[in-house]
């Protein structure tokens, strides 16, 4: 089990709209949210939290380009330099016949590369166990979490008060 | 925030479900002891798998001579089965990728099982070219690996090699797409489990927490994978059709093959999804998630693609006549009226005529009719591949080498065996993984749940407004 060495104060909400409202409220009050956990991708959550757009698709483009260049380049090298053979009277460099494999390799590199990148940057993978705050977060609870590791008692009270006032059904702290 | 209520759109989730109900309904089949029906089906499937292992062993031990292929008919049941299974393996990615891009929300009910079906069907498909090689242990020769013979490379201009790349890429991408979708749902199962099961799902869920940033990346990844899988799924069956279309055999050498194969693949894939989902929803009690709405939508796809396939059959006949090329004309005359006329009749009646009953809404929404039809389509599409492969080869340029082909018990056993392999994998899947995408169903609940949308809700709302005035 991995650990963040953090003390976390969190509130569980029963509905995603209550949670979204609370997030907007917290941001208006300049409270720093550590993370938000939801059972499914909630529409509008990125905007409410002010998350920047994921750049995963850029990496996908780069991997795909590598796959395309590698596939086309390799076949060209084999058939024009390494071992030229005439197949069915076609020229050595018969580009149209290279397209299907080039396409497949583009897709393969882009997909595999993006998936590996995704799991790496999210800190996930087979056998990895990240700490969770509550088992019901993957069921029907929506969680807003604050990092209170170095927070003063007054700050913590303020956060607790905020969670209470914004409709959190349950409030708790946990060391993770 | 109130969802806009459309009076014409029917709900996609029925039974007034809450988020917790969804978790409960979809996770519970993986948690309780298997029902007798499951055990019985599983035993049957494993028996099929055993038959498969035996027949593969026999083929390797005795050699390809244990099949009835001959000099004239070099491709028989094996390649027919290969194309049939690959075709079936198209619906999963179509549902999850193309319907995701088109924002068709009904896909959420069936995409998980359809993708699983895709992966298992492609696994079955891959078996046939491999055992067809005869010397299975030299199978790695199809990959361009550095070797001590030059190195001597594979022929990158050959459609058969394109097929190798297409099928392996398709399998890999489908698997990644499916598993990435499964990770959050495995986490849901994990957080409900105890003991050994908790440890198993700890491993399978990859440490998923449900953090907002992870969801954002997950959605971005799903969208891009869908964007990549869409042309991929079209390319795969196009390339399978190139196996035939780039040859110079009359009856195979036609430019209509790629679109016609792709339409046929979607057609047979949806039929197999129907066959599986109709049983699964009944056995696992998922009628609230896989509703008549879903079944009707898929039947519409079956009707459309079946009709496209029918047009393609007729176009082929017309073009053969119109070409004025006697070998082409003979090939198609022979296809309809030759020694394999019975398979042409089977293909035409199952694929083109019978799906026309889906013009009637009542029949599209009838579970029993749909089930019978899905079996018809599965059979019809198998016939289609047999028609293309065997009838064409049986009557080639030289009348002296004309031949007729019937399979041996080994070939029949291999086909039934792959059904066993497929069944075993699918039954295990229904035990281990949530059969419906939990997170995705939850995300459409407020646009698709029967307490939020549909004619009923619209009527109620309208009544409330009139009362208020």
Q: How confident is the model at residue B369 (pLDDT cuts 50, 70, 90)?
A: very high
Where chain A has pLDDT below 50, the residues are none
Given CB atoms, is B31 within the 8 Å cutoff of chain A? no
Above 60 in pLDDT, residue B4? no
Lowest pLDDT segment from A105-114, B344-353, B442-451: B442-451
Residues of B in contact with A95 (CB under 8 A): none
What is the pTM (predicted TM-score) of this model? 0.92
Nearest CB to A38 within list B150, B177, B215: B215
State the maximum Cα–Cα separation within chain B, in Å, rounded to a whole number: 88
The residue behind tokens 């016609």 is: B260
CB contact under 8 A, B207 and A90: no
- Chain segment B126-150, per-residue pLDDT in tens: 999 999 988 888 888 889 988 888 8
pLDDT (mean) for B188-199: 90
Above 70 in pLDDT, residue B17? yes
CB contact under 8 A, A130 and B156: no
User: CA B384, B387, B392, B395: dihedral to nearest 10 degrees?
Assistant: -170
Ranges A102-106, B22-26, B246-250, most confident? A102-106
pLDDT (mean) for B353-367: 92
Given CB atoms, is A40 within the 8 Å cutoff of chain B? yes
Q: Identify which of B173, B428, B449 has the alpha carbon closest to the alpha carbon of residue B293.
A: B449
Given CB atoms, is B160 within the 8 Å cutoff of chain A? no
Above 50 in pLDDT, residue B3? no
Above 90 in pLDDT, residue B429? yes
Above 90 in pLDDT, residue B37? no
CB contact under 8 A, A38 and B212: yes
- Chain segment B96-127, per-residue pLDDT in tens: 888 888 888 888 888 888 999 999 999 999 99
Which residue in chain A has the smallest CA separation from B441? A40
Q: What per-residue confidence (pLDDT) applies to B450?
A: 77
Q: What per-residue confidence (pLDDT) applies to B71?
A: 85
Task: Chain A: give the shortest CA distance to residue B238, in Å.
Answer: 10
Residues 6+ apart with CB under 8 A from A45: A16, A20, A23, A36, A38, A51, B212, B215, B216
Tell which B residues from 133 to 152 touch A, by Cβ distance under 8 Å. 144, 150-152
CB contact under 8 A, A39 and B442: yes
Mean pLDDT across chain B: 89
Residue B340's SS3 state is: coil
CB contact under 8 A, A108 and B173: yes
Q: What per-residue confidence (pLDDT) applies to B245?
A: 92
Domain residue spans in chain A?
7-52+126-175, 56-122
Tell which A residues from 117 to 156 touch B, by Cβ distance under 8 Å. 118-119, 121-132, 135-140
Q: What per-residue confidence (pLDDT) applies to B345?
A: 93
- Chain segment A129-145, per-residue pLDDT in tens: 888 888 888 988 899 99
CB contact under 8 A, A90 and B157: yes
pLDDT (mean) for B406-429: 94
Residues of A in contact with B209 (CB under 8 A): 37, 130-132, 137
Task: Chain A: give the shortest CA distance to residue B355, in Å.
Answer: 33
Q: What per-residue confidence (pLDDT) applies to B5?
A: 52
Which residue in chain A has the smallest CA separation from B1? A17
Domain residue spans in chain B?
7-135+154-292+405-468
Above 60 in pLDDT, residue B66? yes
pLDDT (mean) for B160-184: 93
Q: How confident is the model at residue B6 (pLDDT cuts 50, 70, 90)?
A: low
Above 80 in pLDDT, residue B468? no
Which residue in chain B has the smallest CA separation from A1? B207
Given CB atoms, is B270 within the 8 Å cutoff of chain A? no
Above 90 in pLDDT, residue B416? yes
Residues of A in contact with B192 (CB under 8 A): 135, 139
Interface confidence, given as ipTM, is 0.94
Task: Chain A: give the shortest CA distance to residue B146, in Å.
Answer: 11
Q: Check if CATH label 3.30.70 holds for domain A7-52+126-175.
A: yes
Lowest pLDDT segment from A61-65, B150-154, B161-165: B150-154
Above 90 in pLDDT, residue B16? no
Which residue in chain B has the smallest CA separation from A91? B157
Please give the Cα distance from B106 to B99 (Å, whole number). 9
């Amino acid at each position: 089990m991995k650990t963040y060495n953090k003390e976390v104060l969190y509130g569980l909400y029963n509905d995603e709209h209550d949670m979204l409202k609370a997030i907007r409220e917290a941001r208006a009050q300049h409270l720093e949210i550590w993370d938000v956990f939801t059972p499914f991708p909630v529409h509008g959550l990125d905007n409410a939290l002010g998350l920047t757009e994921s750049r995963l698709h850029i990496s996908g483009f780069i991997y795909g380009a590598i796959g395309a260049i590698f596939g086309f380049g390799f076949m060209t090298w084999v058939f024009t330099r390494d071992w030229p053979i005439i197949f069915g009277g076609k020229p050595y460099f018969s580009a149209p016949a290279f397209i299907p494999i080039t396409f497949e390799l583009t897709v393969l590199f882009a997909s595999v590369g993006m998936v590996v990148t995704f799991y790496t940057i999210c800190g996930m993978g087979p056998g990895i166990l990240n700490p969770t705050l509550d088992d019901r977060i993957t069921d029907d609870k929506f969680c807003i979490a604050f990092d209170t590791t170095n927070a003063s008692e007054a700050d913590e009270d303020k956060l607790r008060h905020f969670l209470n006032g914004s409709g959190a059904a349950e409030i708790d702290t946990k060391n993770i | 925030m109130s969802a806009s209520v459309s009076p014409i759109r029917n709900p996609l989730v029925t039974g007034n479900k809450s988020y917790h109900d969804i978790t409960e309904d979809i996770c519970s089949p993986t948690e309780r002891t298997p029902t007798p029906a499951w055990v019985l089906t599983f035993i049957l499937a494993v028996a099929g798998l055993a038959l498969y292992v035996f027949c593969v062993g026999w083929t390797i031990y005795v050699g390809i001579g244990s099949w009835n292929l001959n000099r004239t008919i070099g491709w028989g049941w094996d390649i027919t089965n290969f194309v049939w299974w690959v075709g079936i393996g198209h619906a999963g990615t179509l549902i999850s990728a193309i319907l995701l891009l088109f924002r068709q929300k009904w896909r959420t009910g069936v995409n998980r099982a359809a993708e699983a079906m895709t992966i298992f069907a492609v696994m079955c498909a891959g078996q046939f070219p491999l055992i067809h090689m005869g010397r299975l242990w030299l199978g790695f020769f199809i990959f361009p690996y550095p070797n001590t013979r030059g190195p001597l490379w594979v022929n990158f201009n050959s459609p058969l090699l394109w097929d190798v790349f297409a099928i392996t890429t398709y399998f890999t991408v489908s698997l990644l797409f499916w598993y990435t979708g499964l990770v959050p749902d495995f986490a849901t199962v994990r957080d409900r489990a105890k003991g050994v099961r908790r440890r198993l799902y700890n491993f399978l869920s990859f440490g998923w927490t449900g953090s907002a940033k992870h969801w954002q990346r997950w959605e971005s990844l799903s969208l891009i994978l869908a964007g990549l899988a869409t042309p991929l799924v079209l390319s795969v069956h196009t390339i399978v059709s190139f196996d035939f279309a780039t040859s110079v055999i009359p009856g195979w050498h036609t430019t209509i093959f790629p679109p016609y194969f792709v339409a046929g693949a979607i057609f047979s894939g949806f039929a197999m999804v129907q066959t599986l989902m109709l049983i699964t929803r009944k056995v696992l009690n998922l009628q609230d998630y896989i509703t008549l709405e879903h079944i009707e939508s898929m039947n519409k796809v079956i009707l459309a693609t079946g009709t496209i396939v029918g047009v393609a059959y007729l176009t082929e006949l017309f073009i053969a006549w119109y070409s004025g090329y006697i070998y082409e004309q003979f090939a198609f005359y022979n296809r309809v009226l030759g020694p394999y006329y019975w398979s042409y009749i089977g293909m035409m009646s199952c694929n083109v005529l019978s799906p026309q009953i889906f013009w009637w809404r009542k029949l599209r929404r009838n579970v029993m009719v749909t089930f019978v039809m899905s079996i018809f389509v599965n059979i019809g599409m198998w016939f289609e591949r047999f028609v293309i492969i065997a009838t064409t080869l049986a009557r080639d340029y030289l009348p002296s080498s004309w031949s007729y082909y019937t399979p041996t018990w080994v070939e029949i056993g291999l086909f039934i065996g792959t059904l066993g392999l497929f069944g075993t994998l699918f039954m295990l899947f229904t035990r281990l993984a949530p059969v419906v995408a939990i997170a995705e169903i939850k995300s459409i609940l407020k646009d698709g749940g029967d307490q939020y949308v549909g004619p009923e809700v619209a009527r109620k709302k309208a009544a409330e407004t009139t009362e208020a005035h």
